[in-house]
Structure 1
Amino acid sequence: MAEILRPIGAIARALDSIANVEFKQFDLTKGQYLYLARICEHPGLFQDQLAEMIKVDRTTAARAVEKLAVKGFVVKRPDSTNKKIRRLFPTEKAQTTYPNILRENQYSNQVALKSLTIDEADELARLLHKVCANIDDDWHYVKKGNLRKY
């Protein structure tokens, strides 16, 4: 069977390291850019939705959101119907920073795909979405307290 997880992990770690260095100038550290991007793309989402998108536990998401709030990137507002839910919105500072995150993402995507044809890039994207869906099933299963059987 083909070994895909090591190269996928290496790609993710390399791009995360690059982004962490490049986004220091915006006072974003340790993957905070990822949370900020999702909040800018989905204003009004709540923390559990954010954790689900990024595939982290609730506590990790809560810590990241709190740090972004302290730095002035995110505001939390109560939901209009359920006061227990706090919705996340980007501030003007976040909206000013977001285009830089988007530009870095587009550039990294371009670099990653530079030696592929358009058809190869499309096929890779299609296959990665399938792989992501496969992993998503296990992620939800384990998140509910179950253990996978090998």
Structure 2
Amino acid sequence: MPQQKANRFISILYRYSQRYFTQHLRRIDCPIEVGEMSCFLQACRHPGISQDGIAANLYMDKATVARTLQRLEHSGYIRREPCETDRRMNLIYATDQAEPIFRQLQELIEQYHQMLYAGMTEEEIQVAVQMLIRMKENVSRTLRCRQEEDQEER
């Protein structure tokens, strides 16, 4: 029997999570789309974070974050304020209009985690999380090394 590969199940879990949140966001009539959730949550959890900070925290492309923040700003859920120490940078803040949505999303995420971890002990959850973190770090380190090699070749 072939060995099971973790990345297959990580990918499946990602797709399932997208479906779960899409269905539940519709069910609660939430105006935030699943693709906007991460940036929205970063703005709510980290008032005054920069756009680059959001991209770094989420391991997302800066252009994708910029487009998402633009939609959230247009919808009235975030606002940008110029940074006093670096006028080229804007700081991101959630608006008052975002607060009730943020609470809904926190509750939805908690429900998702309860479902995800059903039947698991706290120790099993911690072991699984630590293994996933190590896998992420392995891939990140390899990508950084290859990027450095590519830059040296140029």
State the TM-score, normalizing by the size of structure 2.
0.85
Q: Which residue is equivalent to 2:39? A: 35
Q: Greater CA radius of gyration, 1 or 2? A: 2
2: CA distance between counterparts of 1:70 and 1:140?
35
Provide structure 1 residue ranges, at least 5 long, that are not aligned to the other structure. none
Whether 1:15 aligns to 2:17 is yes
2: CA distance between counterparts of 1:91 and 1:143?
38
Whether 1:118 aligns to 2:116 is no
Counterparts of 1:106-145 in structure 2, within 5 Å, are 106-140=110-144
Runs of 4+ that moved beyond 3 A: 138-147
Q: Which residue is equivalent to 1:44? A: 48
SS in 2 for 1:76: strand
State the TM-score, normalizing by the size of structure 1.
0.87
Deviates more, 1:16-25 or 1:66-75: 16-25
SS in 2 for 1:77: strand
RMSD (CA atoms): 2.2
Provide structure 2 residue ranges, at least 5 long, that are not aligned to the other structure. none
**Identity fraction in percent:** 18
